[in-house]
């Protein structure tokens, strides 16, 4: 997905994480944003446990972000329910996640999802 977006002229950052788990460095987005001051719009997100890590960063940096995305993932808490940015959640039909049998999303997903 990152490669396809980069071919459409989007800047994509997929950083290395300690032990390949973003949850061990929830402020990595801060380092990337500081290194690219000319960029005006930022979206953060992650796959699996990368989603909660991105949500933790987003929760504390809402004014710096334009959006948050989850790839077969979920927010770390319900503190983003009133976030000022949009949220995108993507999962496969065979992903075992948080949806109930009707496919409804859980209450902790932000309202703008």
pLDDT digits (tens, 9 = 90+) for 28-48: 888 889 999 999 999 999 888
Residues 11 and 36: their CA atoms lie apart, in Å, by 10
Asked if pLDDT for residue 105 goes beyond 70, the answer is: no
Give the tens place of pLDDT for each residue, 79-90: 888 889 989 988
Mean pLDDT computed over 48-72: 91
**CA 88/CA 46 separation, integer angstroms:** 11
| 0.85 exceeded by pTM | no
């Amino acid at each position: 997905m990152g490669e396809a977006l980069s071919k459409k002229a989007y800047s994509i950052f997929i950083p290395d994480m300690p032990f390949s788990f973003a949850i061990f460095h929830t402020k990595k987005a801060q380092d990337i944003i500081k290194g690219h001051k000319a960029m005006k719009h930022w979206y953060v997100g992650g796959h699996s446990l990368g989603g909660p890590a991105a949500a933790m960063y987003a929760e504390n940096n809402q004014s710096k972000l334009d959006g948050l995305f989850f790839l077969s993932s979920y927010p770390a808490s319900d503190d983003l329910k009133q976030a000022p940015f949009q949220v995108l959640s993507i999962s496969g039909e065979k992903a075992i996640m948080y949806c109930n049998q009707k496919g409804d999303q859980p209450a902790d997903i932000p309202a703008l999802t």
